[in-house]
Structure 1
Amino acid sequence: MSLVFRFLRVCALVIVSTVAAVAAPDPVKRPTGTSKPSSRKVAASHKVTRSLAPVRPAVVMPTSEATPVDYPVTLRGGVKGRNGMPLAGATIWISGTTKQVTVTNAAGNFNIVLPDAGPIGLSCGYGGYKQQSMFLQAPSQQQDVFFTLQALDGRRKH
């Protein structure tokens, strides 16, 4: 314990002496265009000094467990019919916008770009099926999103 205390004390002295050396007072400054003063009183009146700010220990704040996410983020997902068959050509969009729209591929999978970190509504539609929507509170933490659509007339399609 004594060794640790000595080490910390030496570190503190090094820091304080470094700060003192960096913030040393400026040399005597004389107004431009005047001759050298003849007495010590006059020279002392032109001296500029700085006071040192007290050294305070650094405070380290804990960070959250979540890693920061750079936006835009691409969200993956899939669309299937009630019988589990993939629906190719289904449309997925972010509610309230016409710019974030995508269509599923032949395997029923899609990728959609999320504009920001805020909660979003995600909707899915396909001809002959009921439109489905979901709300994602933290979309950047979502791995995959899946929609299972139900036929409008109750019959099984695809």
Structure 2
Amino acid sequence: MFALRTLPSFVLAAVLFLISLSGFAAPGSGTAPVSKTAAAKKAASPKKGPSVRRKVETLKPVMAVPTTDIFHDHRPVALAGWVTGADGMPLPGATVWLTGSTHKLATVTNAKGDFVLTLPNNAPVSLTVGFAGYENQTVVLTQPRLQKGLSVELKQTVSRR
């Protein structure tokens, strides 16, 4: 007597055996025979040649291309740094902003000239630093997460009288 747990495997084996005998082509198995009507068989009988077979089309996986850069970390990055003048003194109140991006991010330095700017991800960015009476300076960072601290030194503008 068969145990109940072997019965489903026996039924599955029997079904697969019957399918293999019937000549049914499973998807992806290559070709399947095409049935012909009696008139088509008579018309094809004088010709000697290979039997007609139709290729069974299979679905192929489609490669999905990401819309963002997968090589950069997509977690927020806290970028810290300090801004000084040409004399090495800190510049409190200097503005640091993100340029060349759709994100509008900016921050202001504290009394010691330090700033922290939280970037949306680790993608390359361009930062501009400015202060009244000094020339704006642009800094390009390829991987902001690797920066231990960004030091920016601004030069004074030359006043013409």
TM-score bracket, normalised by the shorter chain, equals 0.5 to 0.7
| Residue aligning to 1:72 | 76
Give the distance between the partners of 1:86 and 1:47, measured in 2 at CA: 79
2:153 pairs, out of 141, 148, 151, with 148
| Gapped regions of structure 1 (runs ≥ 5) | 1-25, 31-43, 51-67
Give the distance between the partners of 1:76 and 1:101, measured in 2 at CA: 13
Q: What are the Cα deviations for residues 104-147 of structure 1, in whole angstroms up to 9, with x where unaligned?
A: 00000000001112111111000110000111111111110011
For residue 48 of structure 1, report the CA deviation from its aligned partner.
4.2
**Inter-CA distance 77–28: structure 2 relative to 1 (3 Å threshold):** same
2:94 pairs, out of 90, 93, 97, with 90
| Residue aligning to 2:125 | 120
**Inter-CA distance 79–116: structure 2 relative to 1 (3 Å threshold):** same
Q: TM-score, normalised by structure 2?
A: 0.54
Whether 1:110 aligns to 2:144 is no
Q: What are the Cα deviations for residues 77-109 of structure 1, in whole angstroms up to 9, with x where unaligned?
A: 000000011000000011124621000000000
For residue 70 of structure 1, report the CA deviation from its aligned partner.
6.4
| Residue aligning to 1:28 | 7
Higher radius of gyration, 1 or 2: 2
- Which is worse superposed, 129-138 or 68-77? 68-77
Which amino acid letter does the alignment assign opposite residue 27 of structure 1? Answer: T
The DSSP-based 3-state class of the residue aligned with 2:145 is helix
For residue 29 of structure 1, report the CA deviation from its aligned partner.
3.4
% identical aligned pairs: 36
Which amino acid letter does the alignment assign opposite residue 116 of structure 2? Answer: N
CA contact (8 A) 1:27 1:48 kept: no
| Gapped regions of structure 2 (runs ≥ 5) | 17-71
The DSSP-based 3-state class of the residue aligned with 2:157 is coil
Q: TM-score, normalised by structure 1?
A: 0.55
